[in-house]
A and B are shown apart, each in its own frame.
Chain A
Amino acid sequence: MSIKEETDALKRIPLFAKLDPAKLKLLAFMSQRLTYEPGQAIFSQGDAGDAAYIVLEGEAAVLIDTNSGPTEIARTGKHEIVGEIAILCEVPRTATVRAAGDNSLVCLKIEKDDFMALVNEFPSMGLEIMRELARRIVKTNAQLRNAMAAKSA
């Protein structure tokens, strides 16, 4: 476990991929490396969002509350990010995330306040993130268009 490994993990996240490596290293240094036992919750639906998590080892289950209890809607694995919307805007958690699988889950916790302070200091970071978000919108729009086309067809 070393900061290099974590910096590499950050680099693989599309949201951060284009950022200056030195800044990523700082982000990794400032972030906490946390270990969760299987079943332990990282955060729960409805909580205030204060951090994003990058999975370094193990698996996390994403669950949402339904009338018939919590339902798993997705799994995240190594080098994937969860809760990233929370560090960009003020919304409550839209899902619960738990450590899943047989092994413990190790992730890097990026605090919203630290992240924002970093963006404030290095506006180029903000620009990169804006670009990445715009790409996501394009992608979502395309998906929406396809879905609409499929429906009307």
Chain B
Amino acid sequence: MGGSGDIDRNIFRFVIRFSVKETALVCLLVAAAQAFYYVTLDLPKNIMNQGIQGQGIQFPKEVLGWFSVDQIGYLLWLCLLFFLAVLVNGAVKQYINSLKGKLGERLLRRLRYSLVERILRFPIPHFRKVSSGELIPMVTSEVEQIGGFMGDAFVQPLMQAGMLLTIALFLFMQNPVMGLAAISLFPFQAYIVPMLQKRVKALGKERVRAVRKVSERIGETVGGIHEVRANGTASWERADYAERFGTIFRIRFDIYQRKSLVKFINNFLSQCAPLLFYSIGGYLVIQGQLSLGALVAALSAHKDMTAPWKELLDYYQQAQDAQQKYEQVVEQFRPEQMLPEGLHELPADPAPGLGGDIALAGLSVAEDAQTKLLEAVSLTIPHGAKVALVGAAGGGREALAMTLARLYLPSSGTLRVGERDLTRLPDAHLGASMGYVGPGAYHFSTSVRDNLVYGLRQRPVAAPEKRSASRTRWLAEAARAGNLPLDVEDNWIDYSRAGVANAEQFDAVAARVLERVDLAEDVFLFGLRGRVDPRAKPAVAEAILAARAAFRERLSGPQADPALKGLIESFDPTRYNDNATLAENLLFGTPIDPAFEVDVLAEQRDFLAVLQKQGMADELIAMGRKVAETMVELFAGLPAGHEFFDRFSFIAADDLPTFQAIVARTAPDESGKLPAISNEDRARLIGLPLKLVNARHRLGLITPDFKGRVLETRAAIHDAFGKGPAAGKIAFFDPESYNAAAAIQDNILFGRVAYGQAKAQAIVGKAMREVLDTLGLRERVFEVGLDFQVGVGGSRLTPAQRQKLALARALVKRPEILVLNDALAVLDSSTQVKTLDGALAAAGSATVVAALADAALAAKFDRVVVMADGRVAQDGRYDELIGQDGPLKELLAL
């Protein structure tokens, strides 16, 4: 892909290899631009001598053989010519710059792509040596600086040297002596600058190393934060950072000083040059060997010369810098034993399958020169066999499983499946037919469904009939930068490998497989907690509303379920709900706008305005004071950070003194009138009672009278936020419509489970399920559960759920070979047995090889291979092996 082969170690080779044509074009343009540039140098002399001084010209003079002008007219004519030359010269330069920019960006894209492409081919053991903390800045920020240079790599020296030569040529044309004077100092500079630069280069290398070490250390601090805190070593860590930053400081300042010395020498020498002009040139003018015009032009030409010369020297510094950074990045991307590039090439034919026996002959795997993971393993696993790999950790069972999935490449020996050499099988073919689940499986930060179909994404299976012109250009540009020109927006999911035709049918497969691995119930629960957009899925919303109606029947219909009596308090527009917060009772809906969430509601101005208008604000402030007083009374004796604050208190430990102060300064006077209260105190006090759940907190503050006023305010809020500009911030509870902001289960319940009713949650949960099952809605909810976002690395799943989902992912693609590597070790033992049974049943006729931490599970397999010290220690049927003294018996005795 891209066919970049090995990556060049030299940045110039990298640039020229991928930009021969562009560079040649720029050379031509640079040469062309010089002609115009020469004109801009030469014309000032003519303007001085002919235009202003009128030397050697008869006026009126004819221009272009067409019209004649006087001296003023001629001067203006020459100026116009000068202007045109400047314009053309500028335009060409601008064009070159734009070309250069495109070239640079394309090369940067190519470089980044090559680096990522190589990460994908790193040998697995190498990932233990590199941290993502090192790789990420290299691909993101470090190459960014190199990218800017790559556009300049050839163009900049060509352009600047071209200008310099043109100026030198011009000076020589005026007077050879002056030409010599102008360039006389260059050799000196050209000698001294690289000398100083050498040391800068070495320092630069040191700097990159030091910074990289720091990023590694930051990674360690983040990863090891528990140890740092638990061991109280923050000071040691800080001292370590101080030391490292000190080193970076020293290096950077050293570089800065040397660079500024180079600058100083350059500036000094360039400013010395006019001295030569005034002395030598002045002498020549006095002697009559040089016109004044020529001297002025020479002076201005020399002034022009300093710019390209400075650019050239800068370029030299940048080139050194870039080459060194480039080298240091690229070096990190050339580990030994990378996966051969050809394996990532997308083969033309779809996966032919991996039928046939697996045969290992004299197979060895070495992690590095010293450590051998497997030694001369020879083994034949017939197609369809179910084989358990057991043995002590590190004895080779994990390495063998990983080698079978080609995560490790053998260092010697052969590994075949049927007629095919597994080590040479294209990646896309292998991935299509092989399922692998390791310990600590990873999940991508997307939905459960997307993680399930990840194993079906080897190649685009359907392209749109006609690709838009802009998309085609987009892909062509990718190809020009050596990127993979496949469209990521095509359909990459090959549902046929899951045994279905399309995405709609896939959910049934997902349900079946998840059931096998004991994850279906979890996904169903995700669904119950999930939200549905009724505009996107009107049918689902409709069905949930039907479930709400059916559930209501069970609660209060003629055939009401007595077990549910009093367990749920439904949302009733005409009643205060004792099991909901005061905020919910006021809004009587679910916030859509985050500003209406209960924690910040008291700061919402429009909401406060309604409270004020309804005359409830003062009442809530008084309530807030009582809640605050109670909290202070209850929790004041507890130390900050006590778990009770989190679990029971309305006020965080740190805020208790603040609230104590607020209560004191808002005390009403003798006549019971509240003093003037700042907006901030007001919001804090009103915020407290909003969280009160009457049935739970039992503070006795919510009286029947108060409830009546809440209901009035509820109506006012509905008027204020139900329509007009403020609409759409709250999804109001409406018995007849679906609430998009609330979870499915809340939509079905349409109320709150009552506090204080024994075992209420369990009974209600069961009843809700029965309703869903009767209406045949289980699948609908399950589909919503498949949309559950698993979080970065699957962080929103438990470790057991992560392993089960990975197993489901491997099974969904119906692999011919399924390799499990301690895949279920995190599950508790009864679930482990259940899940393994499910997986074996789902695998059907596939070959299954499972490395097992728990040797007892091997009883479920046809055959057991015991690994020890990287070799096969015992191999045979489970029931035979346990009958004889040997490694398996020892393992089981442990």
Contact = CB atoms under 8 A, between A and B. Distances in A.
Given A26-B634, A29-B697, 14 more contacts: A2-B699, A3-B697, A3-B698, A4-B700, A6-B698, A23-B637, A25-B633, A29-B698, A34-B756, A34-B758, A106-B756, A117-B644, A121-B637, A121-B639
B756 A2 contact: no
Interface in A117-147: 117, 121-122
A32 B637 contact: no
A130 to B, nearest CB: 20
Contact of A25 (B634, B639, B755): B634
Interface string A1-39: 111101000000000000000110110011011111000
Interface in B446-473: none
Contacts of A30: 644, 647-648
Given A29-B648, A36-B758, A1 B643 contact: no
Given A2-B699, A3-B699, A121 B638 contact: yes
A40 B755 CA distance: 17
Contacts of A42: 758
Contacts of A36: 758
Interface in B586-638: 633-635, 637-638
22 contacts: A2-B700, A3-B697, A3-B698, A3-B699, A3-B700, A6-B698, A22-B633, A22-B637, A25-B633, A25-B634, A26-B634, A30-B644, A30-B647, A32-B755, A33-B755, A33-B756, A34-B756, A35-B566, A42-B758, A117-B643, A117-B644, A121-B642
A125 to B, nearest CB: 11
B10 interface: no
B757 interface: yes
A32 B700 contact: no
Q: Main SS of the interface on chain B? A: loop
Contacts of A32: 755-756
A89 to B, nearest CB: 22
A6 B700 CA distance: 12
A47 to B, nearest CB: 13
Contacts of B637: 22-23, 121-122
A94 to B, nearest CB: 21
Nearest to B754: A35
A23 to B, nearest CB: 8
B713 to A, nearest CB: 23
7 A-B pairs with least C-beta separation? A2-B700, A26-B634, A33-B756, A3-B698, A36-B758, A34-B758, A34-B756
A6 to B, nearest CB: 7
A34 B758 CA distance: 6
Interface string B641-652: 011100110000
A34 B634 contact: no
A114 B637 CA distance: 15
A26 B644 CA distance: 10
A34 B698 contact: no
Contacts of B638: 121
A35 B634 contact: no
Interface in B732-777: 755-758
Given A30-B648, A34-B756, A2 B698 contact: yes
A4 B634 CA distance: 13
Contacts of B757: 34-35
B264 to A, nearest CB: 70
Interface in B669-702: 697-700
Contacts of A117: 642-644
Contacts of B755: 32-33
